[in-house]
A and B are shown apart, each in its own frame.
Chain A
Amino acid sequence: MLSDLDISICLIAIAPFIAAIFAPVVQRFCAGMTGWVLSVVPLSIFVFLTSFIPEIAGGGFVYAGFDWVASYGLRFSFFIDGLSLTFGLLISGIGTFIVLYSGAYLEGHHHQGRFFAFILMFMGSMLGLVFADNMITLFAFWELTSITSFLLIGFDNVREASRRAAIQALVITGGGGLAMLAGLIMLQQLSGQWNISGLFQYAGVIAEQELYLPILLLILAGAFTKSAQFPFHFWLPNAMEAPTPVSAFLHSATMVKAGVYLLARFNPILGGTVEWGVILSIFGGVTLLWGATMALKQTDLKQMLAQTTVASLGLLVMLLGIGNEAAIIAVVLYLVAHACYKGAMFMVAGSVDHATGTREITALGGLGRIMPFTLAAAIIGVAGMAGAPLTVAFFAKEEMYAALLHDGLSGLLAQPQDLLAIAVILVGNALMMGVGLAILIKVFFGTLKPTPVQPHEGSLSLWAGALVLGVLAVFTGVAIGWTEQYLITPVASPIHNLLVNGQLYLDLTLFTKPQFYVSVLTWVLGVVVFWQIDEIRTRLRAFSRVLNWSFDALFDWLMFGLVRLSDALTRFWHHGRLELYLLVVFVGFAAAVIIPLVWENALPPMPELTALPFYEWSILLIAAIGLVAVLIARTRLVAIVSLGIQGFAVALIFLLFGAPDLSFTQFMVETLSVIILALVMTRLHLDQRDSRIFQDVFRDGGLAVICGVGVTVLMLAVLQNPLDMRLSDLFAATSVPLAHGHNIVNVILVDYRGLDTLGEISVVMTAGIAILALIRIRGGGPQTGAGAKKPDSRGNRTEKAA
């Protein structure tokens, strides 16, 4: 049964959707205050979630849910542990500030109501994603985040770049999601479990299955596309077309982490294998270096941050690939650190943009004096990016180096892959630090440069979020013991599937550890990068000009190719020429009647012809002559009449074999067909002769013969067995005593199968209405006159035109 707790936990994900529905209304009434009003929703979710901290920190779990699709065994089930709770707190906490920030950032925008609706829907989807226990629930929310992200990236809808970026993001993340769906279902079919929490008991078992690798690859496809791993990374920088609050929230702090979340979530189930380690480390490492290098190339603040986000996501994936205890601790710390400082940095970038009207780093300078609060937030943010001591990012960095230095320096030298990994991480971190320093120093210090808008400090809601997030990043670093108890152990343990105890202290023992000196090396390198950043940028730009190629261009080329291919295929199959459509259909017909007989080796033997009396022979002869005449007739009129002759002969055969009713009907039909066809010929001024070229005649005639032979052969095959006479016998027996009619055919028509007759009568009535409508077109239709006068040319031309 549903308990109150179940309902309130499920409401975590559902409430934002409900709020989203009312957001445009709220916006209409509250105008400038909308952000403050709506931020109550994420805030109350945040507060509600904090109430779970003691229980979860104590190593407990909370399950909740209700039956969603009972007949399918699908539960809308939620599962709270350290990992999901941390994500939930980040989403709702950052979300609160983002909603506030958007209220000011988009003040007066004519679609602000829609914006709030979208962002609240996104928040609900993201919360649902991280708390979902049932894999289908998880997938539903997963795709909802893609959809809401699509709507938010395209928010600035009049710009083509936004529209393109939105579709690109949806294609890549949505496509990856679909692959992931297949992986999740396979996982379920292996284990019989829809619940992730139920899958933990199969840790280690699944990796031994034959289908392990396909499952892993499919799920990784979902995670890698969502978390912008190389080579699917390019959608993320393009997604910066979205308004800044969206970039800060979706494309830095939360949605792009969904892939990392998924990997962390499935680490106990799918992780620990060689494949896992190798794939994650390689893709993560490449993404890290790629993103960090690309960040150096940019001059747009948001682009710089976006590329470092790509790099950070690569780093997280790489650490999950390394997968030992220290690496997992590093993941947890870095996850929180990154969400805080990168969210803060994006808000800073947005505030700068809002205040000056530009985001070009070369056009900015000396803003520190004018925007002191923003500067403060930026300093703390960049400290996080650099992993400066006292911030939580510092410990993250220490732990990631420690993960590879577990055997000391000598052990590292013995393991070339570890050495490579540590070099990659070191370089990546240093590059990101260089970018951070560039943003801080070039934008806020130096001389003030003229900007499109006179710079001014933004309102409270524009800088408060960034500042709080920055302070949080420092606080968690200073109080590392507290962080350990409430964050690292509860979060890392479910990822690692063992109780994790990091034993991190902020004291003098730091200096005795080798990883500290690697950190120092990182800082030194980072400062060098900053010092040389203009030079590096010039070089990189020159190089990419020479290369003249990008993944983005490849995507465009593929999409363009897809549209061209579709165009060609559609033209090929839907050319508008009826005779060719008919050709395809008759080829299908011939195949349907002939191939099964040949395939099943059921071709009938040649039938024995019983001795026919002379009049039967002569009728057959007439029919045959009629048919041949149709084929060789010079004019169409002769062909029509010949077809009539053949039809009359068939009617006579019916007559001779005891079916007078059928025969009379056939006579009527044949007579009418000849008359109507002849009328059509003359009234529509159709050509006297068939104007097909020889190849067409040969093709059509050949196909006609094949179809005719096929029908006959199948008929002979059917006649191999005697007809079951149950129905006829009953009709004969009951016609008089029960149905009170002597003419069996009539009784069949009006009694045994009266409903068919009723149906046929309605066909006649309907045909009458249709004909009436057709006739009236000439009188009152929109296209009178010209169309009706030259029907012959019309028939042909319009066919081709369509």
Chain B
Amino acid sequence: MATTEETQAIMESLPPAMLEKATAAADWVIILPVAIALVCGALLLMLRNSRGTQAVFAALSVIAILVCEVDLFIRVLETGPQAMTMGNWLPPFGISFTVDMIGVLFAIGASFVTLVVIIYFQAEIVAREVRNGFYSLIMLLLAGVTGAFMTGDLFNLYVWFEVMLIASFGLLIIGGRKMQLDAAIKYGFLNFLATTFFLIGLGYLYGMLGTLNMADISLTAPNAPVGPITAVAALFLLAFGMKAAAFPVNAWLPASYHTPDPAISALFGGLLTKVGAYALLRTLLLLLPGSREVLDPVITGIAVFTLILAPLGALAQTNLRRAVGFLVIGGIGAVFAGLAVPSLRGVAGGTFYAFHSMLTMTALYLVAGLVERMTQATDTRFMGGVYQFNSPVSIMFILLVFAAAGLPPFLGFWPKLLIVEAGLGMQDWLIVSAVLINSLLTSIAGTRLWAHIFWRSGREGDEAEVFNDRLRPLTVIENRASLTAAVSLVAVIMVLGLWPNLIFESVRIAASDLLQPERYVSATGLEVTP
């Protein structure tokens, strides 16, 4: 216990900003996205019996969140990272929300994807799921994800991980199919473990550094003993690697993502693994760059195996959404590759890839959902004939396959270009080959899916001229909601692929702030010690 004199001394040493200055009104926008999402989550629970208003309310709140985030994005672009500390207990004491480019970029991606999914869901809507709190869970998931992207406090990050995990667990089981329960068990066990590993690592880190503020950690970590701090970094690598579904701890993803409604798959595909990827970039680059260097061979190994095994998994699958799940994993390999060649280009590439993957993987799941609707099957062997049947869905699917494979001029190409460039610059032939082989294997897997589902006119084993007679056209509501939502998302992906300048600029800033934390640290008000 501190004595009275010590108390006095501490009180006097407090920065005046902590006592006298209130948080500027404009800075409240930093916490607003999370606050809106949480409040709306609670309100939607109360509204759960009025089905009509829920969707509109949820969509409007996500739009409000998006508006806040775009405002933040502009501020970060113009003046650098923004920070707000809860209760004005200035760092390292209270919880800071520190929004830098990578955080706000991912947060925008997440909210946008959520909005698209909410619109898409209008066609699949199941009354029971809505009554059971579907929209509430969506908003809470968004709150968790957004909080994770924006928080500047490591323990607070853990809290958002928990929110996200339990909300996603709820969404996974809400349909109540048997398959979903089995999936939820695997998903739940492995993800709870991952979160727990994160917590264990966090405890050790606090034991060594005595601080939880990320900016403060990046300042004090170099003083910590190398062995234990590397162990902590290894724990983070394991925990976030599991969340991101990297090889070899990714079994939960292919076991669970294809079981809920396509809209929920899409939301998971867009959001969950990316939070893991984000946390990896944040902890291993901004917080513990020294340990990342020690772990470099491990990261390279994970990257190479994930990049190569994931598309092979997609190649082996006959369940469409399971195959897409493997493509999601492949993208995580690309993020790891960026982490393995952490020059400005490499990190920018990894960041870019994660952002691209948010949009593209969501879109792939949405399109897969439409295909399942039309073919009334989940297995590609029983699909076929969609090419003749529905042009928009066909066009979207093939565009997304090439976007996922990273062929130019689609969105996925640019991050791979950056990573390959970084790899060649460091003469890391392994990473370069793995990234390129991943592109090739992904296009093989994707075009095979395309050939089976779209080009082949009937089901597997049918005569060539036999047309798939189980196809049914999309209903009016499916056209109005689901198709429109998917088309808008794909349009955004295409436009960003053709004019990637803004994203390039953003990820360059994001990478430079991750690699040189000065701006991040000073935004929180901490002194950068030379």
Contact with B along A491-528 (1 / 0, CB 8 A): 00000000000000000000000000000000000000
Question: Which residues of A, 555-578, contact B by the 8 Å Cβ criterion?
Answer: 559, 562-563, 565-567, 569-571, 573-574, 576, 578
Contact of B238 among A170, A589, A759 (CB under 8 A): A589
B474 CB to closest chain A CB, in angstroms?
Answer: 19
A residues within 8 A CB of B312?
562, 565-566, 569-570
Question: Which residues of B, 439-456, contact A by the 8 Å Cβ criterion?
Answer: 439-440, 443-444, 447-448, 451, 454-456
Whether A769 contacts B408 by the Cβ 8 Å rule is: no
B93 within 8 A of A: yes
Whether B225 contacts A578 by the Cβ 8 Å rule is: no
B86 within 8 A of A: yes
Whether A175 contacts B440 by the Cβ 8 Å rule is: yes
Also in contact, A570 and B436, with CB within 8 A (given A157-B455, A759-B160, A765-B42): no
B500 within 8 A of A: yes
Q: In the bound complex, what is the Cα–Cα distance between A777 and B181 (angstroms)?
A: 10
A787 within 8 A of B: yes
B167 within 8 A of A: yes
Whether B133 contacts A769 by the Cβ 8 Å rule is: yes
A87 within 8 A of B: no
Query: Main secondary structure on chain A at its contact with chain B?
Result: helix
Whether A582 contacts B193 by the Cβ 8 Å rule is: yes
Question: Which residues of B, 410-435, contact A by the 8 Å Cβ criterion?
Answer: 413-414, 417, 420-421, 424-425, 432
Stretch from A426-434, A446-454, A477-485, A730-738 contacting the other chain: A730-738
Contact with B along A753-785 (1 / 0, CB 8 A): 111101110110111011011101100111100
Contact with B along A355-384 (1 / 0, CB 8 A): 000000000000000000000000000000
A30 within 8 A of B: no
Whether A758 contacts B93 by the Cβ 8 Å rule is: no
Also in contact, A576 and B210, with CB within 8 A (given A762-B140, A769-B132, A798-B178): no
Whether B2 contacts A724 by the Cβ 8 Å rule is: no
Which B residue sits closest to A179, measured CB to CB?
Answer: B436
A790 CB to closest chain B CB, in angstroms?
Answer: 12
Contact of B210 among A726, A734, A773 (CB under 8 A): A726
Contact of A171 among B193, B391, B425, B440 (CB under 8 A): B440
A residues within 8 A CB of B160?
759
Which A residue sits closest to B247, measured CB to CB?
Answer: A573
Whether B436 contacts A163 by the Cβ 8 Å rule is: no
Query: Main secondary structure on chain B at its contact with chain A?
Result: helix
B residues within 8 A CB of A719?
207
B479 within 8 A of A: no
B230 within 8 A of A: yes
Also in contact, A581 and B251, with CB within 8 A (given A71-B508, A174-B407, A182-B424): yes
A residues within 8 A CB of B456?
157-158, 160, 163
A residues within 8 A CB of B473?
none
Whether A154 contacts B455 by the Cβ 8 Å rule is: yes
Which B residue sits closest to A730, measured CB to CB?
Answer: B93
Q: In the bound complex, what is the Cα–Cα distance between A613 and B309 (angstroms)?
A: 57
B25 within 8 A of A: no
A770 CB to closest chain B CB, in angstroms?
Answer: 3
Also in contact, A69 and B420, with CB within 8 A (given A163-B455, A720-B225, A733-B11): no
Contact of A721 among B190, B208, B420 (CB under 8 A): B208
A136 within 8 A of B: yes
A89 CB to closest chain B CB, in angstroms?
Answer: 25
Stretch from B168-176, B330-338, B357-365 contacting the other chain: B168-176
Contact with A along B199-240 (1 / 0, CB 8 A): 010001001111110000000100001111011011101100
B333 CB to closest chain A CB, in angstroms?
Answer: 14
Question: Which residues of A, 623-673, contact B by the 8 Å Cβ criterion?
Answer: none
Whether A582 contacts B170 by the Cβ 8 Å rule is: no
A104 within 8 A of B: no
Q: In the bound complex, what is the Cα–Cα distance between A756 and B309 (angstroms)?
A: 38
B47 CB to closest chain A CB, in angstroms?
Answer: 13
Number of interface residues of A (CB under 8 A): 121
A143 within 8 A of B: yes
A592 within 8 A of B: yes
Number of interface residues of B (CB under 8 A): 124
Also in contact, A602 and B225, with CB within 8 A (given A171-B440, A171-B443, A773-B174): yes
Stretch from B50-58, B107-115, B313-321 contacting the other chain: B313-321
Whether A574 contacts B251 by the Cβ 8 Å rule is: yes
Contact with B along A168-193 (1 / 0, CB 8 A): 00110011001101100110010000
Whether B313 contacts A574 by the Cβ 8 Å rule is: yes
Whether A802 contacts B235 by the Cβ 8 Å rule is: no
Whether B209 contacts A182 by the Cβ 8 Å rule is: no
Also in contact, A562 and B174, with CB within 8 A (given A143-B407, A576-B255, A798-B179): no
Whether A72 contacts B504 by the Cβ 8 Å rule is: yes
Q: In the bound complex, what is the Cα–Cα distance between A571 and B313 (angstroms)?
A: 9
B252 within 8 A of A: yes
Which A residue sits closest to B407, measured CB to CB?
Answer: A143
Question: Which residues of A, 718-756, contact B by the 8 Å Cβ criterion?
Answer: 718-721, 723-727, 729-734, 737-738, 751-756
Whether B227 contacts A601 by the Cβ 8 Å rule is: yes
Whether B242 contacts A185 by the Cβ 8 Å rule is: no
B399 CB to closest chain A CB, in angstroms?
Answer: 10
A390 CB to closest chain B CB, in angstroms?
Answer: 44
A residues within 8 A CB of B242?
585
A219 CB to closest chain B CB, in angstroms?
Answer: 14
Whether A567 contacts B316 by the Cβ 8 Å rule is: yes
A residues within 8 A CB of B235?
589, 592-593
B256 CB to closest chain A CB, in angstroms?
Answer: 9
Whether A185 contacts B249 by the Cβ 8 Å rule is: no
Which B residue sits closest to A188, measured CB to CB?
Answer: B421
B residues within 8 A CB of A600?
226-227, 230, 294
Whether A799 contacts B185 by the Cβ 8 Å rule is: yes
B219 CB to closest chain A CB, in angstroms?
Answer: 12
Which A residue sits closest to B8, measured CB to CB?
Answer: A733
B529 within 8 A of A: no
Whether B227 contacts A769 by the Cβ 8 Å rule is: no
A residues within 8 A CB of B137?
766, 769-770
Whether A770 contacts B169 by the Cβ 8 Å rule is: yes
Whether A159 contacts B178 by the Cβ 8 Å rule is: no
Q: In the bound complex, what is the Cα–Cα distance between A166 and B454 (angstroms)?
A: 13
B235 CB to closest chain A CB, in angstroms?
Answer: 5
Q: In the bound complex, what is the Cα–Cα distance between A346 and B242 (angstroms)?
A: 56
Which B residue sits closest to A143, measured CB to CB?
Answer: B407
B422 CB to closest chain A CB, in angstroms?
Answer: 10
Contact with A along B277-320 (1 / 0, CB 8 A): 00000000000000000100000000000000100110111000
Stretch from A41-49, A268-276, A464-472, A709-717 contacting the other chain: A709-717
Contact of B10 among A559, A733, A752 (CB under 8 A): A733
A413 within 8 A of B: no
Also in contact, A592 and B248, with CB within 8 A (given A171-B443, A569-B312, A602-B228): no
Also in contact, A772 and B133, with CB within 8 A (given A185-B420, A578-B189, A585-B190): yes
Interface centre among A154, A566, A578, A783 (most CB of B within 10 A): A566
Question: Which residues of A, 14-37, contact B by the 8 Å Cβ criterion?
Answer: none
Whether A573 contacts B443 by the Cβ 8 Å rule is: no
B480 within 8 A of A: no
Whether A569 contacts B309 by the Cβ 8 Å rule is: yes
B524 CB to closest chain A CB, in angstroms?
Answer: 15
A residues within 8 A CB of B447?
150, 166-167, 170
Whether A766 contacts B140 by the Cβ 8 Å rule is: yes
Nearest 4 pairs of A and B residues by beta carbon: A602-B227, A724-B210, A770-B170, A781-B176
| Contact sample, A vs B, 19 pairs, CB 8 Å cutoff | A175-B440, A185-B417, A186-B424, A588-B249, A596-B228, A597-B228, A600-B294, A719-B207, A726-B211, A727-B211, A751-B87, A753-B94, A753-B95, A755-B95, A767-B170, A769-B133, A773-B132, A773-B133, A776-B176
Given known contacts A146-B407, A603-B227, A752-B94, what 14 new A-B pairs fall within 8 Å (CB)?
A140-B408, A163-B455, A182-B424, A569-B312, A569-B316, A573-B313, A582-B189, A602-B228, A752-B87, A755-B86, A765-B45, A766-B170, A773-B176, A782-B175
